[in-house]
Amino acid sequence: MKKSNINSSDIKLPGHLREGVTTGTCAAAAARASVQWQISGQCPENICVDTPAGKTLCLSVVPEKFPACGVIKDAGDDPDVTDGCEVIARVSLLEETGDILFKAGEGIGRVTRPGLKLPVGEAAINPVPRKMIEEEIRRCVGDTGAEVEISIPGGEALAARTFNPRIGIEGGLSILGTSGIVRPMSESAVVESLKTCLSVAAAAEPEYICFVLGETGERRMREWLTRQKKELSRMEFVQMSNYAGLMLDEAARLRVKKILIGGFAGKLVKLAADIMNTHSHVADGRMETICTFAALAGAEQQFIRQLYECRTVTEAAQILRNHGMEYIWDAISDRAAEKCRLRMGGTGDVAVVFLDESGGLLGKSRNTEAITG
């Protein structure tokens, strides 16, 4: 199957990265094609769709079993899991005026947990795509009611590679998009996905939320909390990637009261220096932070220089251990927790746990037990 016929000159980015089309735009084009096929008796070869970003895209249509039409998703240069998938819409027109109703077809998930932009039980077709689909149908049939079934063959298997299982969307993919355009490696899209996970976790009203860096960090924290005989059903895990500050801001907005941040010290030690984006391209400060706390604990200059010359936190941790100064990790954890509480404006309590590369405990803030119970 050929990909959508996108006017690449209109969506070329600086640096030669090509933008793509959201599943929402594909669904809107496919839905309009389905309606036009029923009205004219002929499946259109192309459909032009106005996107919320202000760009009009002309997309190639794949005729399926009447009156279903498909559009092949082209993610441009973004490594999107749905790139190359066919988004199919089957529109059933009603005889009377009425609403546009949405149905999850093959490969489209359903909402099973509160906290998302859709109520529990609804097809995972987000509000902006719904509006786009409705506008395209209304252009053809006015106020006539309709039921729209959206499907993506193979979508259920692909959904396992997305955030959907974590946020309570089961059975398939979501139809997404707020601008109608896929921007390659969009940081804002990543952050919005993480915030959605936090929103769902907060809606479950756990006793506390555990922020982790990623999959490996979550696994290690699960293991550590289990060894501490903590009941995992009392809390929710949320991945924050490098965006500690932005996720703490969102937690404050959602009025989350208790947060545990846990994972590898190699990243999280930066929090003690008030570095709230832990990506290496943003800032480092790891050795400077460790050296500061070693100096405050009375370490001699030669020892501090040895720490300063370390290339990794793992190496520094071993040197601290060899000199009997591993206890400074608790002080660093305390400062990290303090900086996080300040980031939340004092609206919530935050504890911090540092683990080594094997998942062993390096240090924890003094309020950790108050958070985890």
Token pair of 281 as six digits: 């391209």
Q: How many domains does the chain have?
A: 2
196, pLDDT greater than 70: yes
Structure confidence at residue 133 (pLDDT): 98
145, pLDDT greater than 80: yes
Q: Across the strands, what pairs with 44?
A: none
Lowest-confidence segment of 14-23, 30-39, 335-344 by average pLDDT? 14-23
99 and 145 in contact (C-beta within 8 Å)?
yes
Task: Return the DSSP state at 40.
Answer: H
* Beta strands, E only, the chain: 20-21, 46-50, 56-60, 62-63, 69-72, 86-97, 100-104, 110-111, 144-151, 169-170, 181-182, 208-212, 235-239, 258-264, 349-355, 361-364
272 and 336 in contact (C-beta within 8 Å)?
yes
Summarize the confidence of residues 163-188 as an average pLDDT. Answer: 86
Clarify whether residues 225 and 171 are in a common domain: no
Structure confidence at residue 12 (pLDDT): 45
Token pair of 27 as six digits: 């669904």
Structure confidence at residue 3 (pLDDT): 45
1, pLDDT greater than 70: no
pLDDT tens per residue, range 301-349: 999 999 999 988 999 999 999 999 999 999 999 999 999 999 999 999 9
Kindly report the three-state secondary structure assignment for every residue of 182-238.
ECCCCHHHHHHHHHHHHHHHHHCCCCEEEEECCHHHHHHHHHHHHHCCCCHHHEEEE
16, pLDDT greater than 60: no
Clarify whether residues 72 and 111 are in a common domain: yes
CATH number at residue 93: 3.30.2110.10
Summarize the confidence of residues 23-40 as an average pLDDT. Answer: 97
In a domain, 334, yes or no: yes
User: Which domain-ending residue is among 131, 156, 184?
Assistant: 184
In a domain, 114, yes or no: yes
Clarify whether residues 145 and 266 are in a common domain: no
Q: What is the pTM of this model?
A: 0.75
Summarize the confidence of residues 192-220 as an average pLDDT. Answer: 94
Clarify whether residues 69 and 94 are in a common domain: yes
pLDDT tens per residue, range 257-306: 999 999 999 999 999 999 999 988 899 999 999 999 999 999 999 999 99
Token pair of 203 as six digits: 């809606």
Domain enclosing residue 16, as ranges: 8-184
Clarify whether residues 109 and 214 are in a common domain: no
pLDDT tens per residue, range 106-136: 999 999 988 888 999 999 999 999 999 999 9
Task: Return the DSSP state at 36.
Answer: H
Structure confidence at residue 77 (pLDDT): 84
Residue 109 identity (one-letter amino acid):
G
User: Which domain-ending residue is among 150, 184, 218?
Assistant: 184
Q: What is the residue-averaged pLDDT of the chain?
A: 92
Task: Return the DSSP state at 3.
Answer: P
Q: How confident is the model at residue 182 (pLDDT cuts 50, 70, 90)?
A: confident
Structure confidence at residue 186 (pLDDT): 64
For 253, residues 6+ apart whose C-beta sits below 8 A from its C-beta are none
